[in-house]
């Protein structure tokens, strides 16, 4: 439930999927589509597909060494993976294994701590820094309350029973991690190692960040020499502010429905964002599951799409090979979708290929 659930009534989570049913394709036929190519160029680098793996905290708790499994599979496939600041494997180790890994940060409360974290990320060799900005306060994830999930993890009868009834996880992930790597720690929330996941001092909430503002990001932009991406925007005025401060890109996101319940799907925010984005790369996440979902976002102007939960599930079941398989499935769908749309290159996609569907209403 920690992975699959969302905030409160899960209205945003549902809207993230519902929005794709509101767009239909107007495809062309009898075109030579024998030279289809799914690659795209982003920040001067060519990727094999227009999607990457979104940042997900504690992935190494849901699957053995999950952060590494995702990063290495992405590197092998030629797509980017964004390592979460709430990950349990040191970013230096992940970047050494997968040098093209991006890093996503939740900003510490103090300016000095922010600067030291940014410097650490740069020294690790990360080229693209992603700052998540939709987590100023703690969200109300009622599903976590119902399932008893919280940090620090506290041993109790329910946790013991879950371990007994799910031996593949308790033995293959948790106990295996303890045996080979010791107790997991929050490794990347700050410049220094954080607390152990079972420690009473473990703090993974976002309290103390309420005062962070656009001036904070301007100071990071001056300090950070690599690509800077702002994640968690929906409002076009915020997209314009990101453009003006010199961000290289934005990721439209409602955090997979895990923050403000009722926040619109990023797909609904995409057309307005494109109007004000200028030269920035506009990317999007939340709710993407199929190749047709990715195609619809690209047709509306998005440069790139990030996908989270499916790759987390793949890593928990099959490790790196599972993630590679999931990536391959999505790439195959994209190639088939392009052929049926009548295009060979993704830059041929255009809003005119989509029809916004209206659903019939019925009187009571």
Q: Catalytic positions, please?
A: 255
How many CB atoms neighbour CB 183 within 10 A? 12
Could you tell me which residues come within 8 angstroms of residue 306 by beta carbon, excluding any fewer than 6 positions away?
51, 52, 53, 54, 82, 251, 283, 284, 285, 288
Report long-range pairs for 9-12 (Cβ below 8 Å, ≥24 apart).
9/261, 10/143, 10/257, 10/261, 11/257, 11/261, 11/262, 12/254, 12/257, 12/259, 12/260, 12/261, 12/262, 12/263, 12/264, 12/265, 12/286
* Among 95, 160, 89, 157, CA closest to 123: 95
Q: Are 77 and 57 in contact (CB under 8 A)?
A: no
Could you tell me which residues come within 8 angstroms of residue 136 by beta carbon, excluding any fewer than 6 positions away?
206, 209, 210, 212
Q: Are 230 and 217 in contact (CB under 8 A)?
A: yes
């Amino acid at each position: 439930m920690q992975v699959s659930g969302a905030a409160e009534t899960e209205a945003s989570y549902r809207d993230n999927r519902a929005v794709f049913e509101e767009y239909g394709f107007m495809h062309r036929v009898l075109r030579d589509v024998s030279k289809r190519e799914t690659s795209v160029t982003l920040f001067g680098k060519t990727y094999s597909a227009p999607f990457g793996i979104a940042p997900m905290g504690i992935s190494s708790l849901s699957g053995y060494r999950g952060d590494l499994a995702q990063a290495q599979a992405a590197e092998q496939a030629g797509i980017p993976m964004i390592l979460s600041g709430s990950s349990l494997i040191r970013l230096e180790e992940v970047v050494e294994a997968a040098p093209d890994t991006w890093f996503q940060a939740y900003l510490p409360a103090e300016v000095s701590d922010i600067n030291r974290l940014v410097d650490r990320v740069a020294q690790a060799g990360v080229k693209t820094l992603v700052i998540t900005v939709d987590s100023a306060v703690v969200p109300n994830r009622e599903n976590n309350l119902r399932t008893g999930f919280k940090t620090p993890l506290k041993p109790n009868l329910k946790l013991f029973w879950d371990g007994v009834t799910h031996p593949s996880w308790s033995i293959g992930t948790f106990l295996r991690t303890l045996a080979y790597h010791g107790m997991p720690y929050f490794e990347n929330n700050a410049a220094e190692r954080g607390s152990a996941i079972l420690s009473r001092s473990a703090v993974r909430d976002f309290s103390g960040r309420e005062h962070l503002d656009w001036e904070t990001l301007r100071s990071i932009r001056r300090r950070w020499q690599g690509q800077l991406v702002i994640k968690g925007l929906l409002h076009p005025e915020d997209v314009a502010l990101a453009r003006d401060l010199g961000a290289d890109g934005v990721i439209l996101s409602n955090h997979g429905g895990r923050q403000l319940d009722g926040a619109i799907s990023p797909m609904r925010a995409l057309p307005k964002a494109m109007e004000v984005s200028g030269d920035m790369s506009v990317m999007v996440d939340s709710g993407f599951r199929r190749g047709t979902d990715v195609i619809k976002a690209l047709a509306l102007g998005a440069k790139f799409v990030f996908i989270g939960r499916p790759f987390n599930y793949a890593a928990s079941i099959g490790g790196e090979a599972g993630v590679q398989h999931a990536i391959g499935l999505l790439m195959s769908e994209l190639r088939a979708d392009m052929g049926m749309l009548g295009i060979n290159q993704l830059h041929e996609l255009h809003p005119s290929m989509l029809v916004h569907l209206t659903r019939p209403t019925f009187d009571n």
